Structure 1
Amino acid sequence: MMETKEIGRQVIRELMGDAFLEAKDKTRNEFNAPIQEYAEDVCFGRVWAREGIDRKQRSILNVAMLTALNRPAQLRSHVEGALTNGCTVDELREILLQAAVYCGLPAALDAFRVAEEVLKARKLLD
């Protein structure tokens, strides 16, 4: 049976792809290894791997929460993951509009900018 860290790495690979995981591994060092292991084990290996809600729903929640927290670097990765998990461009727009009402316009404007960059890079938006 796989350990939760191994399960977490598999979930990351499925959400973000091999290139993302390889790039993440290249940044691992003695200082940041504990937090990277925590993310792999707890975030992805225990929570993302759970049943109860599907990955698309988890992505929707993350996009909204990261907008609320105004965390553009993490938001970029989770917009990528949301697209991988089946969110459409229209759904992402609606998630960000909903967040604008409850999180504030400045946070939503930053989130729209990040999402647009990802969508343009994927050629889903002109």
Structure 2
Amino acid sequence: EGNDTLRGGAGKDSLYGGNGTDLLEGGDGDDVIIGGNEGGTWREERDTLRGGAGNDQLTVAWSSWNNTLEGGIGNDTLTGGYGRDIYLFNLGDGQDVIIDRAYRVSAEDSYRDELVFGA
């Protein structure tokens, strides 16, 4: 519960943010980072998940939106929620995979995801 800042170290880390606006940074190593609301209630979380060097798994809960996911260097898996998520990529980050869920996407909706290159 609440707003959290969690930072991993050089090894393999598992970070879980839970409810609230969280900053979760894995650092080096193959990390598992999970943010967002797991309670099933729709929420604007505004979590930031950053992987770092390594093959990371970044996941936000299905019922949260307005999250930012940045895998970093390595071949990462970024899994977003049903709402609007922002995915950040830089040259040399590796071959990342995006798994995203859609919800009522239309030209008027604000739930559309965003891909940002050279962030």
Fold conserved between structures, TM > 0.5: no
TM norm structure 1: 0.30
Q: Whose strand fraction is larger, Structure 1's or Structure 2's?
A: 2
Higher helix share: 1
Larger Rg: 1
Q: Which has the higher contact order (CA 8 A, sep 6+)?
A: 1
